[in-house]
Amino acid sequence: MTVLFTPSAKQKSQSQMGAFAAQLKRKYAIEFDDYQALQQWSVQNLTTFWRELWDFTGVQGTLGKTVLDLPKMPGARWFPEARLNFSTNLLHAGRDADTALVAVSESRPEHRYSYAELRQVVTRMAGFLKHECGVEPGDRVAAYLGNTPEAIIGMLAASRIGAVWTSASPDFGYEGVLDRFGQVEPKVVIAGNGYGYGGKAVERTCVVKSLQTALPTVKQWIQVDTLPSADIIDGAWQWADLVSRDWPEAPALELPFDHPLYILYSSGTTGKPKCIVHGAGGTLLQHAKELRLHGDISQDSVFFYFTTTGWMMWNWLASGLLTGATLVLFDGNPMYPRSDVLWQLADKLGITHFGTSAKYLSACRKQSLEPGKTHNLSPLTTVFSTGSPLAPEDYDWVYSALKPDVMLQSISGGTDIVSCFVGGNPWSPVVRGKIQGANLGMDVQAWNEAGERVINQRGELVCAQPAPCMPIGFWNDPDDARYRAAYFERFDGVWAHGDFIEFDDADQAVIHGRSDTTLNPGGVRIGTAEIYRQVETLTEIADSLVVGQAVDGDVKVILFVQLPEGQQLDKALTGRIRQRIRENTTPRHVPADIVQVPAIPYTRSGKKVELAVTQILRGEEPANLTALANPESLEAYRDYQARG
């Protein structure tokens, strides 16, 4: 076990987690020696923890007497008497003159909003939605936009009047957007006319015009000129026109804790995406905990996350407003026009909290970037990583190439809870290759096949008690049949997330990949992340994908590798790959076949698509290719399957 960073006693006491622990000490005379003790107390005293969190984070609203009604899964009801407004809570903390948003885009000039300006434009937009569009509580407002101020403003305006917000990033084509918005039937759609990526302008006006015909429930379209030279969307209000007018005010509605706030979508690799409905109160309280206590984000912070509106990390980033911090929005290619463009941004804007994907950090390492030497990153205190397990070598890169005293937080959860099950905190040491632990209030455990808790061995990631961030249900699932099937059939009454996780004696964790794409050669269960971790140590390999293929009653492990342009897989490299895997895992992990392919398939939110390739190897066609960022990459796997 290699400790890469240990927070000082001063850092611990001055953190917001330290202040929260001090509040608990004053009220209950409890002393917490370390994070492990605080986390265990939070799940052993679940209702007290969440009530204290409400008080500590200053939630604006009416609490009520009851914290948890019907403490079961599914069906738990949190704060049934509480009433609040999500938008009000996100906008109340920022000081008027402070910068709320800094928007950076490939296709438009940098733009800033103060908190006072943001409140004003949100109020105007809410008035337009209410009085011009007739939006009522529960109506859906959708956005086909990149990570832009208009998306943040639209979400805040919709939630102010009780509408349900949903979004799709502009890299989705027509079918991908229709598969999502067509299910939830929005009343209003805010659409950009295109986006810039990698120096190219990608117009989306034609897609929007097709959607206008296919979405009959939409009463009003709103156009955002994300590309100045693109066409006009027929019949649409122009964003600049509507936000410059003083509409009759639409008061912020105080709504029940479980009033629907967001509809997010599963990746949709096996069919149309599931529409996951999240409540306003659960999302607010969970994000307040994660951003303030775990991330230690405050009014003095500059918070950046590289994300699109099609990934739940956009929702997480947007909630950063509740801390009073400055949010940095980036819409473009993170490696254009130079591979260090995001680190340039961190230098220029004084970013304190930098969030990205594990894939991006790996790409920086493989390109031998050293941002800590080439840029001023002195304000940087925290790096967040998610999307896939962070390789131990990338932990090393952060501490050698960025800063030796940064808090690296590998976090993991998902669209399913629009937040995290496990992640970082300002009290625990950062151990190479490990997540610091289960988050506060999240009773996360590793279970074996018999439903028994296990330590120091891989098990199913379960959450054994309810949490406010769990969905209020799926859209168009009145009897909750699909919701139950998704999470509660593996272990009765317990959330099973579909990941393999392993906790050590200090409750630090390693994610071993998805349990629903588990490899099982010779009856031995193998998480794909264990193989990826070894392959990623080889600089000759640009990317990889591991799947299993059923052959003669057993499972054959196949490793597909993408090499740098112009390079070919030969016997020597194949031998090195097999040797590295055998030496650092087990002979069972060594692939039977290692195959070179031109590209690895990814979803639009940056996840490797193991399941679609597995289906192809079974002779099946993946049901929904619109969720893929590069569906053409699957041709190579079809060719492999055809060759037998």
**Predicted confidence (pLDDT) per residue in 164-200, tens digit:** 999 999 998 898 899 999 999 999 999 999 999 999 9
Position 66 scores a pLDDT of 97
How far apart CA 34 and CA 428 sit, in angstroms, is 7
* Whether the Cβ atoms of residue 222 and residue 236 lie closer than 8 Å to each other: yes
Closest among 620, 3, 608, 15 to 293, alpha carbons compared: 15
Checking if the pLDDT of 291 tops 80, the result is yes
Contact 142, 170 (CB under 8 A): no
Is the pLDDT at 314 greater than 90? The verdict is yes
**Sequence-separated (6 or more) residues with CB below 8 Å from residue 103:** 110, 111, 112, 148, 149, 329, 331
Q: Please choose, from the candidates 593, 585, 600, the residue with its C-alpha nearest in 3D space to the C-alpha of residue 537.
A: 585
Residue type, 171: D
- State the Cα–Cα distance between residues 309 and 148, nearest whole angstrom: 9
Cβ atoms of 152 and 146 within 8 Å: the answer is no
164, 195 contact by CB (below 8 A): no
Average pLDDT over the chain reads 95
280: left (phi over 0), alpha (psi -120 to 50) or beta: alpha
Among 108-117, 177-186, 228-237, the minimum mean pLDDT is found in: 228-237
Asked which of 415-424, 509-518, 612-621 is least confident by mean pLDDT, the reply is: 509-518
| pLDDT tops 90 at residue 520 | no
SS3 79: coil
pLDDT at 467 over 90: yes
pLDDT tens string 589-639? 999 999 999 999 998 888 889 989 998 998 988 877 888 999 999 999 999
Residue 228 is predicted with a pLDDT of 86
Cβ–Cβ < 8 Å for 17, 439: no
What is the Cα–Cα distance from 324 to 300, expressed in whole angstroms? Answer: 8
Q: What angle do CA 502, 577, 385 make, to 5 degrees?
A: 40
Among the residue ranges 17-31, 205-219, 256-270, 509-523, the one predicted with the least confidence is: 509-523
pLDDT at 514 over 80: no
Q: Which residues are registered as beta bridge partners of 195?
A: 202
The region that residue 493 occupies, defined by phi over 0 for left and psi between -120 and 50 for alpha, beta otherwise, is: left
- Is the pLDDT at 229 greater than 70, yes or no? yes
pLDDT of amino acid 517: 66
Q: H or E segment at 127? A: helix 115-127
Measured between alpha carbons, how far is residue 236 from residues 134, 167, 189, 194 in Å? 16, 18, 10, 15
Alpha-carbon Rg for the chain in angstroms: 24
Structure tokens at 442: 């999240």
Residue 623 or 330, more confident = 330
pLDDT the model gives residue 388 = 84
CATH class, range 518-643 = alpha beta
Residues 428-439 as b/e (b if ≥16 CB within 10 A, e otherwise) read: bbbbebbbbbbb
DSSP letter assigned to residue 96: T
Q: Comparing C-alpha atoms, which of 121, 159, 131, 354 is closest to residue 241? A: 121
Q: Does the pLDDT value for residue 583 go beyond 90?
A: no
Q: Distance between CA atoms of 388 and 125, rounded to whole angstroms? A: 36
Q: What is the pLDDT of residue 644?
A: 78
Task: Assess whether pLDDT exceeds 70 at residue 354.
Answer: yes
* Cα–Cα distance, 600 to 211 (Å, whole number): 30
pLDDT in the model for residue 23: 97
pLDDT digits (tens, 9 = 90+) for 499-513: 999 999 999 999 987
Q: Say which residue the tokens 């009073």 belong to.
A: 324
Q: Is the pLDDT of residue 204 over 80?
A: yes
Instruction: Please tell me the number of Cα atoms within 13 Å of 439 on its side-chain side.
Output: 27
What share of the chain has pLDDT > 90, as a percent? 85
pLDDT for 270: 61
User: For the chain, what are the domain ranges?
Assistant: 518-643
The tens digit of pLDDT for each residue in 549-576 reads 988 778 899 999 999 999 999 999 999 9
Ranges 91-100, 259-268, 399-408: which has the least confidence: 259-268
pLDDT at residue 268 tops 70:
no
Query: Cβ distance 409 to 394 under 8 Å?
Result: no
Please choose, from the candidates 398, 354, 284, the residue with its C-alpha nearest in 3D space to the C-alpha of residue 50: 284
pLDDT at 367: 94
Percentage helix, strand, coil, to 5, in the chain? 35, 25, 40
Between strands 353-357 and 382-386, the pairing is parallel
Give the long-range contacts of residues 180-184, CB within 8 A, separation 24 or more.
180/265, 180/273, 180/275, 181/142, 181/144, 181/211, 181/215, 182/214, 182/215, 183/272, 183/275, 183/475, 183/476, 184/140, 184/142, 184/263, 184/275, 184/475
d(CA 437, CA 317): 21
Q: How confident is the model at residue 515 (pLDDT cuts 50, 70, 90)?
A: confident
- pLDDT mean over 113-119: 98
